[in-house]
Structure 1
């Protein structure tokens, strides 16, 4: 992989992360307008289908194998359920924690879960052991989460929390 290609992949990963707080804030407002956060979750997923379908048609993607669909283990279909959990919790928690607080805590959860997934090589991932430097990075990230979440609290709230 060339350096330029690698940088492009890194930038795409940053963009993928950058759109999440926008999605969460927009869905929060949609949930308020629709009357409940779960309506916003459903609307978000329906819009995903409407946006993705023409792209897939334009790319002329072949239909998936029926044999695979019928034989795939149930865990392979859990991604959609996890998406529902994330979107629903984002819509409900974002107004309480703020965009930066929610995203920092969500990122901390993602890093911890990712370390475990990598360590055990679950779901077909390549095993990547939890090393001291990787663990230190996670601890530093979680320290940053604490600073982001509690650093924005008014002084009275900090005194009450301590």
Structure 2
């Protein structure tokens, strides 16, 4: 059931504000992706200077300190305690450091562009599967030809950057 109202341009459905939010968030997510490229550029030299694990620890230490300050400033948070969450939801705490260590190891050897496109191909490939099967509580979005084409183009970009 769609909720609608009238405006000067005609009926407005509930899907339109959601679509607007989607387009509004897109540049924010692109900027966050740019931040990951900057992080990869910083981590490579840092890992060479202090060691890959120390570089990873320093990045997570700074991030944890910032998050701690944000939590202090944002007031009381609602939600369950960590011991009430399903354990599988905490896997990200294990995957994050692996991701950062891989960035510190790979970036000096294969470059930032190659590292980021390789990461992107892995992210998109796994994301398509997660959407398709509805894993981890995600809403199901079946793989269609456009999604397969997008994944293939990312792989083509990976090959072209590797050759260049």
Match of 1:51 among 66, 70, 80: 66
Match among 86, 90, 100 for residue 87 of structure 1? 100
The alignment yields a C-alpha RMSD, in angstroms, of 1.6
3-state SS, counterpart of residue 81 of structure 1: helix
1:32 is displaced (CA, Å) by 2.0
Instruction: Report the TM-score, using the length of structure 1 for normalisation.
Output: 0.84
Residue 126 of structure 2 corresponds to residue 113 of structure 1: yes
Q: Under a length normalisation based on structure 2, what TM-score does the superposition of the two structures give? A: 0.83
Aligned to 1:8: 24
Q: Which runs of 5+ in 1 are unaligned?
A: 153-162
- What do the CA deviations read for 1:33-69 (whole angstroms, capped 9, x no partner)? 21x1011111111100111111122111426433xx2
C-alpha deviation, 1:28, in angstroms:
1.7
Report if the CA contact (8 A) 1:93-1:102 is conserved: yes
Give the whole-Å Cα distance in 2 for the aligned partners of 1:113 and 1:3. Answer: 24
Q: Distance in 2 between matches of 1:89 and 1:2?
A: 35
- Kindly indicate whether the alpha-carbon contact (under 8 Å) linking 1:104 and 1:145 is maintained by their aligned counterparts in 2: yes
Q: Residues 8-27 of structure 1, C-alpha deviation per residue, up to 9 Å, x if partnerless?
A: 20100101111111111212
> Which of residues 29, 49, 64 is equivalent to 1:33?
49
Q: List 4+ stretches of structure 1 deviating above 6 A.
A: none
1:2 Cα offset (Å)? 6.6
What stretches of structure 2 of length at least 5 have no aligned partner?
1-16
- Name 1:71's counterpart in structure 2: 84
1:155 aligned partner = none
Q: CA deviation at 1:131?
A: 1.0
Matched pairs, number: 148
> Rg: which structure is higher?
2
Q: Which has the higher strand share?
A: 2
Change beyond 3 A, Cα 1:63–1:42:
farther
Q: 1:100 pairs with 113, 132, 137, which one?
A: 113
